[in-house]
């Protein structure tokens, strides 16, 4: 029937063109007669007119013969087309979406005009399956029939011939004598005339433009147009169209889909929970790849395990191919259709963003990788959001679905030559290198740094006006930074990698993201070792040791510090040797070996004093004060801490001002100067909180709670203790067990330079 409809459409077009030619020739005959043209010309024009009319009549008769026989009925007999395909044989989940559509249906039944509803979501989410399932179940509520058009089958490049869809719908609704107008506006008018007074369900699958839906909107009250699209069709919603989002499935619903689609083999997923969880993570809640995994288990009838399915998609470089079905069910094809609809500039932004190894994407990344202005990059990113190829997480933050990211990357590798992709990755790494370098120097301009190379010229590298701005950017880029380090390490860009790891020291030490801290520093150590840069390796090992001390892993910390001591034995860098000595002292302090700790801190202080390291000396005064608090020598501790505070205020090092105030509050509390202690601790929090120094903030609340308990203010003490515990839990610290902290604390470590 589809072939006959297409032939009839072509004949109708030819008939209309022939009729138009006949009309033009007829006009020429009239002109010839009026102007008294030669009779031979007039006769020739008349004959041509007659032949054109005869051809139009023949074409009309052929068109009539091509109409299906069941269409040849009287004009008074109304056809009730039932063209919506049956829904999927198996359908699970999507309870919320179906309920939403049912609610829209109830409103439609009493509406005076037609209703439009759009099922929207990213490619592969299951929009068509939801639409077909609901439509096939609800079609009987539409007494005058249902119509269906799959726009993906009619797409030619970026365009769809809506005129052809209208012609098909007119044939389904009209009588045997209904002629198809040649022009689109006349077809729209006739379609609306035929749909007036009819209650129809019209399903339009995979539309890409609001205009496509508007041209197929019927005139009958109580009718519903149900469209599916991976685009945001904003114009429809401006006019009141309903929106039903079809998002990726949650893990529990995705697992149910796996089990149901695998049929008699579905029980195997419950028997392999770890591998099933892995599959769910790789599929990211998309119905299409979930069905591919389920079908593999079903078709192999026990010869393939759930573990084998998981193993087949574990490799990121081949995952998209493994999770693709056949033909129209191919994952690459599903995303490829959306990609092909993009403009050239947006295709470039899409595939270049796929090269970014991180998760959280920004307009700055798109501008850098696609070599665009920031405003143009922002505009193209917003357009990608409209196609659901990129989702907006919050203002200015974007994210790829995992499989879409793989498609974007593979498209880049296939479209852009290897050297171009490599150049873009190098540019990205350099951008992060400069940004990390700038943030580190903004937080503390003058500290010990092994990496002091010149920054390469980089387009639009972030600059920071304050420590707060620097910390905010680092938090924003936290997940991306680790991914970029891994990428640089894998490409053996070792110099860049270890320098970036070193530049992260102040961030990790103050924000306590322990797992990132450990992973990033170990990557830096690996790269420094490959370059045989012993100073850099020693520096990074001390940074790693502090993370282990914080977590109470003293054996691992001592191992790192021992290696660092060996590496700096012949180093000419006095500040580095002093820093390694200091970190050894920190470890002694937390192991409660106060004699060794005090001796090592004093040795470190002497080293910094010998090179006029003002900040390093002040840090050792702070550390010495901490040891003296733990040994009960409170007045001596206060003297040492106040000396350190004076220097830090002079150089405006708020990171240490907050720490020193915390320890001064501790010492005052031990001296039973409770009012002074409470005042000092509140001042410490006012410095620490804006800088996001959450561990020291928690310790301050613990100290304030202890003071409140001493003065019998139980409710205030409980509230302060809970604040401290909330912070410990948030940063994943061992103190998040509700226990009262004991001294010496293994936290708030001084890290010098």
- CATH assignment at residue 106: 3.40.50.300
10 Å Cβ neighbour count for 373? Answer: 11
Please list the helix, strand and coil fractions of the chain in percent, rounded to the nearest 5, in that order. 65, 5, 30
- Which helix (H) or strand (E) is 476 found in, with range? helix 467-476
Contact 484, 453 (CB under 8 A): no
Q: How far apart are CA 265 and CA 248, in angstroms?
A: 24
What token pair was written down for 352? 């270049």
Statement to judge: residues 123 and 241 lie in one domain = yes
What token pair was written down for 224? 């519903």
Q: How far apart are CA 630 and CA 628, in angstroms?
A: 5
Quick check: is 85 in a domain? no
Contact 246, 120 (CB under 8 A): yes
Statement to judge: residues 39 and 140 lie in one domain = no
Quick check: is 492 in a domain? no
The residue out of 200, 221, 245 marking a domain boundary is 245
Residue 72 burial (C-beta neighbours within 10 Å; 0-12, 13-18, 19+): exposed
The string of DSSP codes covering 661-707 is HHHHHHHHHHTT-HHHHHHHHHHHHHHHGGGT-HHHHHHHHHHHHHH
Quick check: is 425 in a domain? no
Encode 225-283 in three state secondary structure: EEEEECCCCHHHHHCCCEEEECCCCCHHHHHHHHHHHCHHHCHHHHHCHHHHHHHHHHH
Statement to judge: residues 147 and 212 lie in one domain = yes
Burial per residue of 170-200, b for 16 or more beta-carbon CB atoms within 10 angstroms, e otherwise: bbbbbbbeeebbbeeeebbebbbebbeebbb
What token pair was written down for 350? 């899409």
> Which residue(s) pair with 398 in the sheet?
361, 392
Q: How far apart are CA 537 and CA 529, in angstroms?
A: 6
10 Å Cβ neighbour count for 744? Answer: 17
- How long is the chain? 753
Quick check: is 402 in a domain? no
Q: What is the pTM of this model?
A: 0.74
617, 621, 624, 718, 751 from 665: Cα distances, Å: 21, 16, 16, 19, 20
Beta strands in 353-444 (DSSP E): 360-361, 391-394, 397-399
Statement to judge: residues 172 and 292 lie in one domain = no
10 Å Cβ neighbour count for 168? Answer: 22
The low-confidence residues of the chain, meaning pLDDT below 70, are 1-13, 15-16, 18-20, 22-23, 25-27, 29-32, 34, 45, 52-53, 56, 59-61, 63-78, 157-158, 325-333, 738-753
Cα angle for residues 11, 15, 19 (degrees, 5° grid): 175
Task: Find out whether the peptide bond into 607 is cis, omega within 30 degrees of 0.
Answer: no
Q: How far apart are CA 98 and CA 117, in angstroms?
A: 12
Quick check: is 548 in a domain? no
10 Å Cβ neighbour count for 318? Answer: 13
Dihedrals phi, psi of 320, to nearest 5 degrees: -60, -40
Ramachandran category for residue 692: left, alpha or beta (phi over 0 → left; psi -120 to 50 → alpha) = left
Number of structural domains found in the chain = 4
Q: How far apart are CA 112 and CA 107, in angstroms?
A: 10
The residue out of 314, 336, 352 marking a domain boundary is 314
Q: How far apart are CA 181 and CA 57, in angstroms?
A: 15
Give the sheet arrangement for strand 115-120, strand by strand. Answer: 146-150, 201-205, 224-229, 115-120, 242-245
Cα angle for residues 451, 453, 455 (degrees, 5° grid): 120
What token pair was written down for 51? 């032949």
444: DSSP letter: -
Closest C-alpha among 191, 209, 218 to residue 118: 209
Contact 377, 361 (CB under 8 A): no
- Which helix (H) or strand (E) is 116 found in, with range? strand 115-120
Quick check: is 82 in a domain? no
What token pair was written down for 720? 């302060």
Statement to judge: residues 286 and 178 lie in one domain = no
Give the structural domain span for 704.
Answer: 645-753
Statement to judge: residues 230 and 103 lie in one domain = yes
Statement to judge: residues 221 and 258 lie in one domain = no
325, 482, 586, 744 from 747: Cα distances, Å: 53, 24, 10, 9
Give the sheet arrangement for strand 391-394, strand by strand. Answer: 360-361, 397-399, 391-394
Q: How many CA atoms lie within 13 A of 257 on its CB side?
A: 29
What token pair was written down for 429? 């790494």
Cα angle for residues 627, 630, 636 (degrees, 5° grid): 60
Statement to judge: residues 235 and 256 lie in one domain = no
* 3-state SS assignment for residue 591: coil
329: DSSP letter: G
| pLDDT of res. 22 | 63
Statement to judge: residues 713 and 693 lie in one domain = yes
| pLDDT of res. 740 | 42
What token pair was written down for 707? 């003071």
Cα 437 from chain centroid?
26
Quick check: is 412 in a domain? no
Give the CATH number of the domain where residue 663 resides: 1.25.40
| pLDDT of res. 362 | 93
Statement to judge: residues 140 and 61 lie in one domain = no
Q: CA torsion 590→592→596→599, rounded to 10°? A: 70
10 Å Cβ neighbour count for 714? Answer: 10
What token pair was written down for 571? 């180093």
The residue out of 66, 83, 113 marking a domain boundary is 66
Contact 324, 404 (CB under 8 A): no
Quick check: is 233 in a domain? yes
Contact 205, 228 (CB under 8 A): yes
Contact 111, 47 (CB under 8 A): no
Statement to judge: residues 18 and 115 lie in one domain = no
Statement to judge: residues 184 and 215 lie in one domain = yes
Contact 396, 363 (CB under 8 A): yes
């Amino acid at each position: 029937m589809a072939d006959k409809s297409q032939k009839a459409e072509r004949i109708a077009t030819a008939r209309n063109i022939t009729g138009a030619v006949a009309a033009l020739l007829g006009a020429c005959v009239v002109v010839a007669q009026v102007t008294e043209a030669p009779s031979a010309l007039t006769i020739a024009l008349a004959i041509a007119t007659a032949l054109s009319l005869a051809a139009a009549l023949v074409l009309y008769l052929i068109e009539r013969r091509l109409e299906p026989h069941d269409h040849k009925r009287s004009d008074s007999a109304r056809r009730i087309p039932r063209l919506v395909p049956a829904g999927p044989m198996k359908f699970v989940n999507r309870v919320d979406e179906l309920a939403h559509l049912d609610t829209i249906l109830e409103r439609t039944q009493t509406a005076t005009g037609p209703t439009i509803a759009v099922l929207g979501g990213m490619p592969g989410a299951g929009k068509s399956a939801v639409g077909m399932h609901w439509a096939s179940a609800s079609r009987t509520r539409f007494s005058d029939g249902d119509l269906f058009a799959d726009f993906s089958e009619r797409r030619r490049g970026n365009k769809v011939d809506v005129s052809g869809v209208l012609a098909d719908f007119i044939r389904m609704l009209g009588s045997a004598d209904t002629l198809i107008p040649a022009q689109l506006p006349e077809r729209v008018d006739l379609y609306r005339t035929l749909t007036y007074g009819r209650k129809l369900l019209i399903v339009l699958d995979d539309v890409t433009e609001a205009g496509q839906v508007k041209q197929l909107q019927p005139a009958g009250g109580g009718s519903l147009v149900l469209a599916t699209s991976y685009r945001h069709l904003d114009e429809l919603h401006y006019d009141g169209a309903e929106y039903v989002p079809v998002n990726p499935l949650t893990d529990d619903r995705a697992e149910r889909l796996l089990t149901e689609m695998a049929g008699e083999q579905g029980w195997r997923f419950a028997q392999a929970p770890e591998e099933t969880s892995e599959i769910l993570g790789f599929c990211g809640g998309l119905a299409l790849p979930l069905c591919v995994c389920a079908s593999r288990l079903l078709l192999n009838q026990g010869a393939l395990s759930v573990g084998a399915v998981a193993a087949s998609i574990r490799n990121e470089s081949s995952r998209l191919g493994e999770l693709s079905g056949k033909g129209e069910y191919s994952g690459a094809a599903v995303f490829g259709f959306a990609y092909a609809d993009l403009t050239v500039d947006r295709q470039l932004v899409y595939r270049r963003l796929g090269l970014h190894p991180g998760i959280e994407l920004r307009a700055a990344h798109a501008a850098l990788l696609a070599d665009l202005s920031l405003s143009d990059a922002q505009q193209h990113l917003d357009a990608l959001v409209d196609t659901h190829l990129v989702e907006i997480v919050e203002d200015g933050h974007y994210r790829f679905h995992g499989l879409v990211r793989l498609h974007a990357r593979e498209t880049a590798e296939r479209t852009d030559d290897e050297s171009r992709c490599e150049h873009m990755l190098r540019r990205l790494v350099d951008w992060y290198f400069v940004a990390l370098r700038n943030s580190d120097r903004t937080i503390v301009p003058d500290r010990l740094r092994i990496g002091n190379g010149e920054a390469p010229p980089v387009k639009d590298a972030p600059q920071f006006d304050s420590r707060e701005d620097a910390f905010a950017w680092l938090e924003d880029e936290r997940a991306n930074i680790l991914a970029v380090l891994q990428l640089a390490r894998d490409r053996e860009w070792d110099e860049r990698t270890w320098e970036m790891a070193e530049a992260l020291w102040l961030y990790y030490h103050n924000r306590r993201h322990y797992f990132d801290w450990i992973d990033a520093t170990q990557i830096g150590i690996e790269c420094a070792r490959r370059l045989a840069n012993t100073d850099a390796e020693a520096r990074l090992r001390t940074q790693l040791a502090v993370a282990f001390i914080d977590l109470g892993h003293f054996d691992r910390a001592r191992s790192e510090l021992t290696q660092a001591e060996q590496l700096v034995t012949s180093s000419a860098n006095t500040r580095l040797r002093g820093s390694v000595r200091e970190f050894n002292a920190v470890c002694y302090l937390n192991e409660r070996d106060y004699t060794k700790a005090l001796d090592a801190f004093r040795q470190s202080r002497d080293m910094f004093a010998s090179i006029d390291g003002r900040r390093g000396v002040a840090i050792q005064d702070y550390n010495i004060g901490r040891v003296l608090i733990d040994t009960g020598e409170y007045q001596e501790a206060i003297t040492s801490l106040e000396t350190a505070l004076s220097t830090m205020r002079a150089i405006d090092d708020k990171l240490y001002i907050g720490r020193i105030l915390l320890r001064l509050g501790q010492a005052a509390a031990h001296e039973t100067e409770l009012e002074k202690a409470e005042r000092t601790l509140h001042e410490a929090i006012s410095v620490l909180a804006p800088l996001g120094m959450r561990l020291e903030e928690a310790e301050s609340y613990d100290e304030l709670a202890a003071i409140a308990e001493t003065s019998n203010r139980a409710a205030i003490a409980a509230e302060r203790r809970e604040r401290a515990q909330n912070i410990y839990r948030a940063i994943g610290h061992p103190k998040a067990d509700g226990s009262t902290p004991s001294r010496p604390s293994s936290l708030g470590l001084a890290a010098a330079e």
